[in-house]
């Protein structure tokens, strides 16, 4: 994968934007459980009362708090509240609190003191009162609801509580419990403070239902806004990730295609066509999926995992071990899955190559298969390739399917464990219900982050294999490359081809295919090659076009070694008609103009006349605009060959190469075509490879090849006399007239 990192460099800015958006999405997601906790803890349990220190207190309430406060907290209370003195303040208090007139003096929070410090001072005083009353009740063996402990939020009265605190038994015991209250956990004192704050507000006639609804609506709107931000960030991340992944995939495909176009036959021998198709399609798709999912998950999972762990620990440290245990289990499962499935991902892509190869061969050779009645054998061959791939896929999917039940088991087990332990802590006032719910959500986020990592464990190994396969193609050194300082062909060049003691051997082979080949193909002449199958005729032609390079000797074009020329410049001078006349989807005109895009109608007509193709073209209703199917399947073999010959003639090249290009023509058409070619290519070098004596017998120079060597050269008549191999070929074709 790292070998393809250069394709992400143009998108560095977009990747940075995606990471920022993911951080925003993560913060939004992490913020929601905290807001939900506030709604439960404050909005529901505390009736929307956020602070233990009320915004306003009656004189009796302040005196009550001072009575049960330490000296330090008394100073905090004195500094934290001020008497409502001016008319505007009194009027505002009356509007906000219905019983303000009957409550006597009203004290307002002055806002100068730290609110958290003031809340703590008030809640400690409230707790001291509760402890005092509980202590007296326990000492007097009074049951709840009787005597000193008989007060609740429904029947409590601040004035009565103040009078109760003046009883000698209470005032005498208070200092002990004031000191004890200071040692209690802050959470417990906050809960007591919130309950007492409700009584203080009730004394002033505050609308507690309105306060609760206002708080819930405010936090609810915050949750909606945070959710909207998170959704927006998620959508934008998906758009950015899609742009990056599709752009990188497009660049990889383009580079792969350009690279494959530069391949010589040697590289095609190394990478099969089916494999190159798989690498350009399926493998690139795997990389695209990795980039798209990776940007969304690889970056997002750590944000959620680390952020969730920090916030969960800040909610309650005592249950953090549950998350650690869950992570340990998940890590162990992920490692097992990784080491079991990873080898199969490497095998899977090669099996896809194999399936593509079998499918391609079966479809391209369907007529041969039907002619020989081999449909059942091909079906078995396809079934085997398909079954091998299916079995591997099933194995990997079974392993990966194991992840989801484990994840669900861990998630549900963690939830149950948190509720069970959290319930005990809530009972002991060490934890609030909302905090427990938030802790569950944070735990789920942490586990979900590992689930995302598990998904990436599925994608990364396969994409890694695909990336290696793609990089192997992109980094493949071409065996045939343009020279760093190429020579230019002379403008007055005629197209003379010379072979000078040429040797050629395929890579990895032990023997030479061509041995000491020397000849010259001159302009205005036809040079023909004939020989037994495997004698090296087509290989020799491939050396002219530099589809292969010689391993010994040299091939020159107008006196310049073809290895010193740009491949494009060389091939522009050559009109090639290969053994297999390949046509492209489009129409007849587009195929004829393949080598000369601006060729006029007259040029097309002249070329098709010479190639003996005009008659069947004119017989079609749309003539040169007649459609050609993919591979030329809607024309006959002879028509395909004639169109391929016409395509080469339209190019007006200096050298024409015909590699057994007349095999599908009847003798009459063959003779007419050769006669027309003589006139059309009068100034060019013509090189023909033929199997039929009649095709090459009129060539000025006929070269006979046998096992890679030249065993005869000359005209038809001289070879009949002097070359046994040529005479044997002529006799074998029953061409007695020529013999």
Residue 169 domain-assigned (yes or no): yes
Q: Residues 354-378: pLDDT tens digits?
A: 887 788 778 777 777 877 777 788 8
Beta bridge partners of 557: 497, 560
Residues 242 and 332 placed together within one structural domain of the fold: yes
Q: What is the pLDDT of residue 221?
A: 93
Same domain for 537 and 453: no
Regarding whether 200 and 223 lie in a shared domain, the answer is no
Quick check: is 176 in a domain?
yes
Tell me, yes or no, whether 379 and 421 share the same domain: yes
- The answer to whether residues 610 and 642 touch, using CB atoms and an 8 Å cutoff, is no
Residue 226 inside a domain? The answer is: yes
Q: Is 104 part of a structural domain of the chain? A: yes
Claim to verify: residue 87 and residue 126 sit in the same structural domain: yes
Structural domain of 188: 52-206
Domain for residue 480, yes or no? no
Domain boundary, last residue among 179, 206, 233: 206
Q: Which tokens is 625 given?
A: 């605009």
Q: Is residue 249 part of a domain?
A: yes
Give this prediction's pTM: 0.70
| Torsion angle in degrees (nearest 10) through CA of 48, 52, 53, 55 | 10
150-155 contacts at long range (C-beta below 8 A, 24 or more positions apart): 153/195, 153/198, 153/199
How many distinct structural domains can be found in the chain? 3
Q: Which CATH number is 539's domain given? A: 3.40.50.300
Residue whose tokens read 């590289």: 267
Q: Do 170 and 237 sit in the same domain of this protein? A: no
Q: How far apart are CA 274 and CA 352, in angstroms?
A: 9
Residue with tokens 């332990």: 421
Sign of the dihedral defined by the CA atoms of residues 254, 255, 256, 260, in that order: positive
Q: 528 and 388 share a domain?
A: no
Q: In terms of domains, do 262 and 124 share one? A: no
**Do 145 and 58 belong together in one domain?**
yes
**Predicted pLDDT of residue 228:** 94
Whether residues 457 and 551 fall in one domain: no
Q: In this structure, what CATH number is given to the domain that contains residue 457?
A: 1.20.1560.10
Question: Considering the domain boundaries, does residue 395 fall inside one?
Answer: yes
Q: How many CA atoms lie within 13 A of 647 on its CB side?
A: 24
pLDDT in tens, 245-268: 999 999 988 988 888 888 777 777
Q: Show which of 184, 206, 228 is a domain's final residue.
A: 206
Q: How crowded is residue 640: how many other Cβ atoms within 10 Å of its Cβ?
A: 22
C-alpha torsion angle, residues 630, 633, 639, 642 (rounded to 10)? 30
Q: Which of 206, 233, 250 is the last residue of a domain?
A: 206
State residue 390's pLDDT score.
Answer: 87
pLDDT at 737: 52
Clarify whether residues 24 and 74 are in a common domain.
Answer: no
Residues 456, 548, single domain; the answer is no
Regions of the chain where pLDDT drops below 50: 144-155, 736, 738-739
Contact 426, 420 (CB under 8 A): no
Is position 42 within any domain? Answer: no
What are the tens digits of pLDDT across the range 41-74? 888 878 888 888 888 888 888 888 888 888 888 8
664: exposed, middle or buried (Cβ count in 10 Å: 0-12, 13-18, 19+): middle
Of 574, 559, 556, 555, give the one whose Cα is nearest residue 503: 555
């Amino acid at each position: 994968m790292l070998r393809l990192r250069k394709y992400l460099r143009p998108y560095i800015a977009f990747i940075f934007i995606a990471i920022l958006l993911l951080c925003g999405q993560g913060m939004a997601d992490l913020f929601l459980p905290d807001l939900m906790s506030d709604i439960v803890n404050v909005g529901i349990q505390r009736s929307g009362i956020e602070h233990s220190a009320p915004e306003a207190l009656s004189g009796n309430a302040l005196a009550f708090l001072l009575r049960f406060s330490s000296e330090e907290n008394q100073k905090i209370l004195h500094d934290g509240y001020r008497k409502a003195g001016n008319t505007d303040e009194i009027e505002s208090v009356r509007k906000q609190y219905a019983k303000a007139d009957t409550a006597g003096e009203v004290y307002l929070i002055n806002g100068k003191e730290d609110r958290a410090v003031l809340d703590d001072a008030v809640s400690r005083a409230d707790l001291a009162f509760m402890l005092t009353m509980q202590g007296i009740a326990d000492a007097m063996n009074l049951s709840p609801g009787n005597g000193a402990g008989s007060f609740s939020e429904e029947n409590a009265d601040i004035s009565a509580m103040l009078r109760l605190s003046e009883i000698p038994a209470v005032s005498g015991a208070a200092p002990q419990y004031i000191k004890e209250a200071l040692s209690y956990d802050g959470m417990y004192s906050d809960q007591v403070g919130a309950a007492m704050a409700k009584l203080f507000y009730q004394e002033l006639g505050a609308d507690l239902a309105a306060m609760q609804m206002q708080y819930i609506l405010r936090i609810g709107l915050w949750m909606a806004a945070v959710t909207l931000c998170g959704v927006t960030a998620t959508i934008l991340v998906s758009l950015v990730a899609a742009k990056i992944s599709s752009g990188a995939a497009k660049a990889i495909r383009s580079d792969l295609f350009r690279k494959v176009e530069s391949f010589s036959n040697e590289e095609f021998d190394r990478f099969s066509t089916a494999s190159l198709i798989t690498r350009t399609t399926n493998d690139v798709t795997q990389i695209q999926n990795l980039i798209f999912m990776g940007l969304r998950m690889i970056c997002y999972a750590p944000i959620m995992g680390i952020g969730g762990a920090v916030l969960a620990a800040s909610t309650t440290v005592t249950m953090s071990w549950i998350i650690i245990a869950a992570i340990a289990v998940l890590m162990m499962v992920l490692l097992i899955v990784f080491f079991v499935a990873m080898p199969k991902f490497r095998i899977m892509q090669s099996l896809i190559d194999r399936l593509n190869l079998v499918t391609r061969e079966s479809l391209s050779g369907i007529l041969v298969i039907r002619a020989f009645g081999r449909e059942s054998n091909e079906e078995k061959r396809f079934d085997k390739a398909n079954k091998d791939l299916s079995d591997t896929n099933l194995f990997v999917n079974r392993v990966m399917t194991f992840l989801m039940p484990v994840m669900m088991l861990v998630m549900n087990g963690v939830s149950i464990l948190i509720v069970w332990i959290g319930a005990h802590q809530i009972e002991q006032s060490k934890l609030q219900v909302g905090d427990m719910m938030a802790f569950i959500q944070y735990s789920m986020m942490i586990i979900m982050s590992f689930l995302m990592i598990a998904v990436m464990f599925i994608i990364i190994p396969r994409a890694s294999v695909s990336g290696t396969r793609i990089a192997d193609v992109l980094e493949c050194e071409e065996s045939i490359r343009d020279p760093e300082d190429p020579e230019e062909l002379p403008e007055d060049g005629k197209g003379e081809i010379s072979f000078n003691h040429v040797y050629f051997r395929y890579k990895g082979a032990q023997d030479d295919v061509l041995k000491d080949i020397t000849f010259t193909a001159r302009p205005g002449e036809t040079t023909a090659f004939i020989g037994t199958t495997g004698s090296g005729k087509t290989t020799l032609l491939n050396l002219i076009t530099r589809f292969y390079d010689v391993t010994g000797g040299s091939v020159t074009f107008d006196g310049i070694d073809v290895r010193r020329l740009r491949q494009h410049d060389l091939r522009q001078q050559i009109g090639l008609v290969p053994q297999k006349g390949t046509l492209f989807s489009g129409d007849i005109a587009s195929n004829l103009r393949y080598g000369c895009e601006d060729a006029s109608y007259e040029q097309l007509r002249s070329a098709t006349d010479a190639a003996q193709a005009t008659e069947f073209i004119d017989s079609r209703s749309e003539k040169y605009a007649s459609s050609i199917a993919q591979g030329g399947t809607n024309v006959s073999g002879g028509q395909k060959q004639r169109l391929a010959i016409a395509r080469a003639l339209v190019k007006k090249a200096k050298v024409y190469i015909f590699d057994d290009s007349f095999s599908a023509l009847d003798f009459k058409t063959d003779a007419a075509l050769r006669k027309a070619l003589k006139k059309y290519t009068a100034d060019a070098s013509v090189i023909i490879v033929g199997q039929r004596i009649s095709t090459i017998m009129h060539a000025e120079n006929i070269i006979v090849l046998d096992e890679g060597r030249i065993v005869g050269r000359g005209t038809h008549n001289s070879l009949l006399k002097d070359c046994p191999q040529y005479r044997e070929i002529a006799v074998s074709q029953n061409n007695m007239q020529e013999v």
